[in-house]
A and B are shown apart, each in its own frame.
Chain A
């Protein structure tokens, strides 16, 4: 069993994004497993505030020196905030992927979509299968 964190208050995608609902908005980032695969992040491409996104859309990119991974939105809705503090401090995602390493906030247009996502236990298992 790997020791990647997977907080229970989040839901997870098969492409290693997490989402946590706060007041009808989904806070989104990449998981501890994802950041450990990518290693030191150097660049994040963020979507624009106001963009409308669908679940599964590629809304950004996270880059390390050896890989560039698309950021796929776990949910549908409108982008209401992006974490601009990440610019120049991309390593925050490596250090605190579920907290200050958040990437986007999306106002959910279809909260039922959360049911399609994995919970923490299922996600942990998914990570172990791939390691």
Chain B
């Protein structure tokens, strides 16, 4: 049956060796009244039938591959080169475990080492770990690291409202038992004057997003200065495609750079699995959470790779570990590594430029439509905010039903003062024709 290989003869032979008569005899330790409960579940079906069933379920969805999509807000419809998928499908990568036995895991270990190196290059930082679950949990781990760097003497985390709302929510969830104040994002503005006013000697970390949730690029050095004036760590949540074009936070004095790596060749997949990257200064490496791969030599004098500084981690430090993280997003880090390798120095820059040009073309096209106004108050990268003449939900309904277009994010969902404001994302996968259609559709629905 399915993947179970034993025949009745196999089972009989094995029972005999064990010295018991029936399979049921192995479960005598289970209290009788709880033993062998009925499972009210469907009967088994064949692989073929299961495939039909799931295909049918998949047809009940409208995927971005079939239709133009201008929805971003933390997850993006970038193009993934086929070599990424083919690499992660290799059984030696896919079905390997965490590389605790390095002699038979050099493939995984070297790939992660290369990934770490590329993240350092991308972010301008000195060390990177092997991944967190996603951008949101990376930010939460950065906050925990900041508390530890300050020896738990500081109790404040300052977050800019321009950070993804779900990321800030996750930080709050993570820290609910730590007696910490999280502040700076009480209003809907990504404005830094308010944020800077919240920084003081009790602040362990200040964080902002780059580009911010509204797609805008703000001047990081100014915030770095404010944070460092009080000895707080500066954390920047960065978009990795943007980093193909824009100055990395590491060059501007950031202490930690985190973010969502989904844009690096990982499919949208309804929200997961994604990839949290985390990079910091070498001086903080012992307080950093997550797996770390380091280079070393073997008994033959050859270069090899191992998990290192494992004493930070849960399997050794237990209650004192820097984090509880064990299984992370290893295969997604491999995917990102392959993406960054095959796109490379030149390709990633080109992808970023395409996003930039197409986003600006879209912004101009929409600005020309009566009733719509693009927020130009700051430079933007691949996303921008549009003030719309009608509720975003209504506009998106029209876009979908009349044009089959998945429209942008309704900002009022997370920022109550941003009424009728839509966040539009444009990637290298959006064609000029799609953008023209979008503008056309927007003009129709405004009437």
**Which residue in chain A gives the minimum CB-CB distance to B312?**
A68
Contacting pair A67 B286 (CB below 8 A): no
- Binary interface encoding of chain B residues 338-352 relative to chain A, with 1 for a CB under 8 A from any of its CBs, else 0: 000000000000000
- Tell me, in angstroms, the Cα distance from A67 to B310 when the chains sit together: 8
- Binary interface encoding of chain B residues 97-119 relative to chain A, with 1 for a CB under 8 A from any of its CBs, else 0: 00000000000000000000000
Tell me whether B376 is interfacial, beta carbon within 8 Å: no
In-complex Cβ contact of B317 among A43, A64, A68 (8 A): A68
In-complex Cβ contact of B316 among A43, A45, A67 (8 A): A67
- Binary interface encoding of chain A residues 57-94 relative to chain B, with 1 for a CB under 8 A from any of its CBs, else 0: 00000011111101000000000000000000000000
In-complex Cβ contact of A65 among B286, B310, B317 (8 A): B310
With an 8 Å Cβ cutoff, the count of chain A residues facing the other chain is 9
Within 8 A of A (CB), among B290-327: 308, 310-312, 316-317, 320
Instruction: Using A66-B316, A67-B316, A68-B317 as known contacts, say yes or no to A43 and B310 having CB atoms under 8 A apart.
Output: no
Give the chain B neighbours of A43 by CB distance below 8 A.
Answer: 286, 311
Q: How far is the CB of B371 from chain A (nearest CB, A)?
A: 62
- Tell me, in angstroms, the Cα distance from A61 to B176 when the chains sit together: 28
Interface secondary structure of A, over-half rule? strand
**Which residue in chain A gives the minimum CB-CB distance to B310?**
A65
Within 8 A of B (CB), among A32-64: 43, 45, 63-64
Give the chain B neighbours of A70 by CB distance below 8 A.
Answer: 320
Give the chain B neighbours of A67 by CB distance below 8 A.
Answer: 311, 316
Give the chain A neighbours of B308 by CB distance below 8 A.
Answer: 65
**Which residue in chain B gives the minimum CB-CB distance to A48?**
B151
Q: How far is the CB of A25 from chain B (nearest CB, A)?
A: 25
Q: Which of A43, A45, A63, A70 has the most chain B CB within a 10 Å cutoff?
A: A63
Q: How far is the CB of B310 from chain A (nearest CB, A)?
A: 7
Q: How far is the CB of B347 from chain A (nearest CB, A)?
A: 39
**Which residue in chain B gives the minimum CB-CB distance to A62?**
B311
Give the chain A neighbours of B312 by CB distance below 8 A.
Answer: 68
- Tell me, in angstroms, the Cα distance from A101 to B275 when the chains sit together: 43
Give the chain B neighbours of A66 by CB distance below 8 A.
Answer: 310-311, 316
**Which residue in chain A gives the minimum CB-CB distance to B308?**
A65
- Binary interface encoding of chain B residues 354-376 relative to chain A, with 1 for a CB under 8 A from any of its CBs, else 0: 00000000000000000000000
Give the chain A neighbours of B316 by CB distance below 8 A.
Answer: 66-68
Q: How far is the CB of B284 from chain A (nearest CB, A)?
A: 13
**Which residue in chain B gives the minimum CB-CB distance to A70?**
B320
- Tell me, in angstroms, the Cα distance from A68 to B317 when the chains sit together: 6
- Binary interface encoding of chain A residues 87-105 relative to chain B, with 1 for a CB under 8 A from any of its CBs, else 0: 0000000000000000000
**Which residue in chain B gives the minimum CB-CB distance to A63?**
B311
- Tell me, in angstroms, the Cα distance from A66 to B308 when the chains sit together: 10
A-B residue pairs in contact (CB < 8 Å), sample of 18: A43-B311, A45-B286, A63-B311, A64-B311, A65-B308, A65-B310, A65-B311, A66-B310, A66-B311, A66-B316, A67-B311, A67-B316, A68-B311, A68-B312, A68-B316, A68-B317, A68-B320, A70-B320
Chain B interface (Cβ < 8 Å from any Cβ of A): 286, 308, 310-312, 316-317, 320
6 closest Cβ contacts across the A-B interface? A68-B311, A63-B311, A68-B317, A67-B316, A68-B316, A67-B311
- Can you name 13 extra interface pairs (CB under 8 A) apart from A43-B286, A66-B316? A63-B311, A64-B311, A65-B310, A65-B311, A66-B310, A67-B311, A67-B316, A68-B311, A68-B312, A68-B316, A68-B317, A68-B320, A70-B320
